[in-house]
Structure 1
């Protein structure tokens, strides 16, 4: 099992290649970890840089809903390797365009991540390229966990809880590995893409249907084995799509922070009271990705439940 020593090793390995992202004091007992400011727009760059240490001549192949592909393309470019990224046809145009800017060859395959993943593994076997799993890889998980090490020195007086949006679990596993014994991790998933919640009920990873507004980032059909092993006892909550949409808009309205829907899921747990902190509890919301089209943030508002109205 991955532990904090693996995360510390990853931290040394990627030092100088990542951004040490800031923390924003967002209110009494509340902080935002601004990991959406990371290179390539998400936390996954940490894991990919830890994974792609010495790429082969054939380069790397990755499958992604978008963010892992962007991270792989960025890491490959920084290390002088070719990158080929498989995405489902439903991937947001903003992510596909950015992949091209980073120099990756983009292949659109299937209607969801699982189909793109299957095609990518075949391609890697054919070419001899290094296959980079989006989340279920020990190097990825350890690299992602370096966020937790940063947090320990960034919140004055410390913190009790970190809310983490969960798709395949690479971020969840990394945060548990880095902060076990120092803080409680709470997993947040959309009701419509809840692979971790389903695995907890079943006692092991299982396939689930995926859909909804955050499926491009959190739409893993099955939680990763590594993440489940690390986090099987982590408390988890589910949020509705309407709450995610409102949380994303609220981050823009109140803080001028632009994130994707998957990222906003973590904040939605607080705003919708799906997760209710105890009195005096000190909470960090991990904002993990910003690869989105911000155009709809200034359009007519979606219905906001009374519980989400500004106070």
Structure 2
């Protein structure tokens, strides 16, 4: 079971924000019980990536989150340009466009337990680095990633997401508490707790259970999906403005929720079965993300860590006035 905390966002408009991001990363390291060595690796990763954003990027931002159950901190550095001319060359030691020693990205790749990067000329760059306390991430038949951002001015996020992985099966929940702020965050937490009790309950039954659990809250939009890599299917049920899409280089299929708000009023839950094409990403978004993004934007990142795809959509298609979440799942190669 993997339940996500939201990403704290740090705009990198001036050098003072580097220290701010590093201090927040230290708090996350303590939450994950990092030892001094792991905490030091994380501090260096954050410092190098944040400094790169200040020196080189346009509209640079750093997003920090943790996965407590994996004792892992995730760092996403995103920007709107200018992009790298040659990614592999930029990762090599000694290459610099600013007169520095040119060891930053190479050092980050060596220090991180997971690392990935995507860059497009004039569009920008996303760099992902995860640092874990110890050991490898649990194995499974699917790779998962998510980005969740609080509404502007809020200290908590009213969205939530969770993945449960069991061999070829995966269960996904994305929830959007009504409105935003602490009450919405409470609704999301209740939904995630109920989901974690038995995530592989049939989606229509799980939606009904979530509906009952959320009655003591302000309610939420929710979507539950069960993915079976062996059968090549996605079974789903949901209520409200959470939308899923299955996107590959040759296909794009939407999976919609029924009307209603879990915890307030929904009709008898329906369950949908959708074919899961080979190499297709399952992308689930709350309504803080624009719905009409083009499937082609994800084609260059189909083979990347799913968090790169989630970060790309959050960077380029966040509405900027509400909580926003993108959760992505793909089969392992």
Smaller-chain TM-score bracket: under 0.3
Q: What TM-score do you get using the length of structure 1 for normalisation?
A: 0.27
Considering Cα pairs closer than 8 Å and 6+ residues apart, tell me whether 1 or 2 has the greater RCO.
1
Judging by fraction of residues, say which structure has more helix: 1
When the two structures are superposed, what TM-score results if normalisation uses the length of structure 2? 0.26
